[in-house]
Amino acid sequence: MTEHTLTVAGVAVDTRHWIGGERVASAETFTDVSPIDGSVLGEISRGTAAEADLAVAAAKAAFPAWAATSRAERARILHAVADGVEKRIEDLAIVETTDNGALLRSHRRGVMPRVAHNFRFFADWLLKLDHEDFETRGHTNHVSWDPAGPSVLITPWNAPLMLSTWKVAPALAAGNTVVLKPAEWTPLTASLLADIAAEAGLPAGVLNIVQGYGSEIGDALTSHPDVRRISFTGSVPTAQRITQSAAANLTPLSLELGGKSPLLVFADADLDLAVDLAVEQYDNAGQVCLAATRILVEETVAEEFTRRFAEKAAAIVQGDPRDEATDIGPNIHERQLEKIDGFVRRAVDAGARAVIGGHCGEGRYYAPTLLTDVAQDSEIVQEEVFGPVLTLQTFTTEDEAVQLANDTRFGLAATLATGDRDRAARVTQRLVAGTVWVNCFFVRDLQAPFGGSRHSGVGREGGTWSFDFYCDLKNTVTAPKGWKDHG
């Protein structure tokens, strides 16, 4: 390990920022720690307003040429980035698992291939992005998507590279230049992405990556007058600060925030399927914004559902995420573990009962937990825990189920288990959510709109919606007359 390089399972990772096509070190660093065993991975360059200014300046300087690059050439380069990701799936998988504690098998088989797909999808969508011309009293209307400018993308730690490229790929495809700030708890795969993008031929300054704390570099990025788009995935309080920072410059925002999503289980549902869907909510140690953490079960089947759930959950293997047999790994940080445990302890003190779990394991592992006897207005039902903690409540009517489902300040997603097609249509139409899954979970297509309602976010991304956000839409109206014939 050299001064600016650390090694993770044999993979070299540069710890400096990537600005204007060059590595840039900061005078100060912060320590990156693996949640698997608490081991120190290395010291990472800790950016401040100075690095924010450098990165935005680089993005601004590179913008005119990149915006003028043809759609076909931008798409070709994004496909080359995808090729580079696919060549390094094993490196990316082991580094990300070590850095954030998610399952290695998932990174190998699903997450990192999805990273490559993000680039390919938006490259291909760019080439077919179009709106049919239309007529107004003989005048022709033509809609176009113009690149907006430098874009700041701030991403979370629960799926670092996949969620980063979900933003980076459409921003670059749109013709924008990018400053990416990964979460300080999981900075490593973003650094590898910089290497991959450079090798793919992405021009210097088109993608810039800066590391550090939100209070030190994030605020400088989101308040910068030369930034034309900000996309953020994370918590509501951080989004409120970003919104205030962006307000002075009227910088457009896309915010994908927290969730407290329900899983509605009706008596006519396939109960084994419903149990499988419920247990699946422990995925990634519960660190999934879309997770249906509030299980709402029709009273007549609640006892049987709970029995089957406890049996199914008992088979979950919690341990080292690098082990193929492991089902869920550690939580990301001691601070997060303390937050999770605090939620559960306060709930139990208020009268909740732990059907399973309810306690910390060794290290940063929290036991999968199911709490019953919880009140609708309680903290554990209303606030996002972001850990392997589910609550179970019962209902007796369809109206009550919908009322309970919608009775939080969030509206990111909802999951519904029923054997009645008519009921599914009625209930999904009434649920407040950006995404509703019926008898399934986490089926996502990049061409679909994605985002949340209420405090779960602002705006939608995916497919054309991503280009609508990252571009300035223009309508050109042309008269049928007034032309001169130049022969």
Kindly report the CATH number assigned to the domain that includes residue 340: 3.40.309.10
Q: Is 282 among the domain residues?
A: yes
Whether residues 357 and 226 fall in one domain: no
pLDDT in tens, 451-472: 999 999 999 999 999 999 999 9
Task: Indicate if 221 and 325 belong to the same structural domain.
Answer: no
The percentage of the chain sitting over the pLDDT mark of 70, rounded to a whole number, equals: 99
Q: Are strands 151-154 and 139-147 parallel, antiparallel or unpaired?
A: unpaired
**Residues 96, 206 within the same domain:** yes
Q: Please write the tens of the pLDDT for every residue from 149-191.
A: 999 999 999 999 999 999 999 999 999 999 999 999 999 999 9
Residue 487 confidence class, pLDDT cut points 50, 70, 90:
low
Alpha-carbon dihedral sign for residues 119, 121, 127, 131: negative
Helix (H, G, I), strand (E, B) or coil at 435: strand
Q: Is the pLDDT of residue 431 over 60?
A: yes
429-434 long-range contacts, CB within 8 A, separation 24+: 430/402, 430/406, 431/262, 431/402, 431/405, 431/406, 432/406, 433/261, 434/460
Do residues 36 and 183 share a domain?
yes
pLDDT at 361: 86
| Count of domains for the chain | 2
Does residue 271 sit in the same domain as residue 307? yes
User: Could you tell me if 79 and 117 lie in one domain?
Assistant: yes
pLDDT of residue 77: 98
What proportion of the chain, given as a percentage, has pLDDT over 90?
97
Whose CA is closest to 264, among 290, 298, 288? 298
Amino acid letter, residue 37: D
Q: Is residue 111 part of a domain?
A: yes
- β partners of residue 307: none
Question: Is position 486 within any domain?
Answer: no
Same domain, 219 and 115: yes
Q: Are 93 and 111 in contact (CB under 8 A)?
A: yes
In a domain, 487, yes or no: no
pLDDT of residue 3: 86
pLDDT reading at 348 higher than 70? yes
Domain membership flag for residue 445 = no
State the residue range of the domain holding 340.
262-438
Contact 214, 182 (CB under 8 A): no
* Residue whose token pair is 């999503």: 261
Q: Please check the confidence at residue 84 and state whether its pLDDT lies above 70.
A: yes
Q: Are 142 and 160 within 8 A, CB to CB?
A: no
Please check whether residue 317 lies inside any domain of the structure: yes
The catalytically annotated residue of 96, 216, 256, 298 is 256
Classify burial at 68, counting beta carbons within 10 Å of its beta carbon; exposed 0-12, middle 13-18, buried 19 or more: exposed
Confidence of residue 242 (pLDDT cuts 50, 70, 90): very high
Are residues 430 and 347 located together in one domain of the fold?
Answer: yes
Residues 361 and 242 in one domain: no
In a domain, 424, yes or no: yes
256 catalytic residue (yes or no)? yes
Residue 446 domain flag: no
Q: Which of 148, 149, 147, 145 is closest to 60 using CA atoms?
A: 149
pLDDT band at 485; cut points 50, 70, 90:
confident
96, 184, 289, 471: the catalytic one is 289
pTM of the model: 0.95
| Count of other CB atoms within 10 angstroms of residue 196 | 25
17 vs 210: CA distance, rounded Å: 5
pLDDT at 1 over 70: no
Which is nearest to 44 in space by CA: 153, 160, 208, 186?
A: 186
Task: Please confirm, yes or no, whether 461 is among the known catalytic residues.
Answer: no
Q: What is the mean pLDDT of residues 292-311?
A: 98
Calpha distance 20→410 (Å, rounded): 39
Are 238 and 284 contained in the same domain?
no
Residues 463 and 408 in one domain: no
Question: What are the pLDDT digits (tens) for 15-27?
Answer: 999 999 999 999 9
Q: Return the CATH number at 243.
A: 3.40.605.10
Domain match, 269 and 242 both: no
Residue-averaged pLDDT of the chain: 96
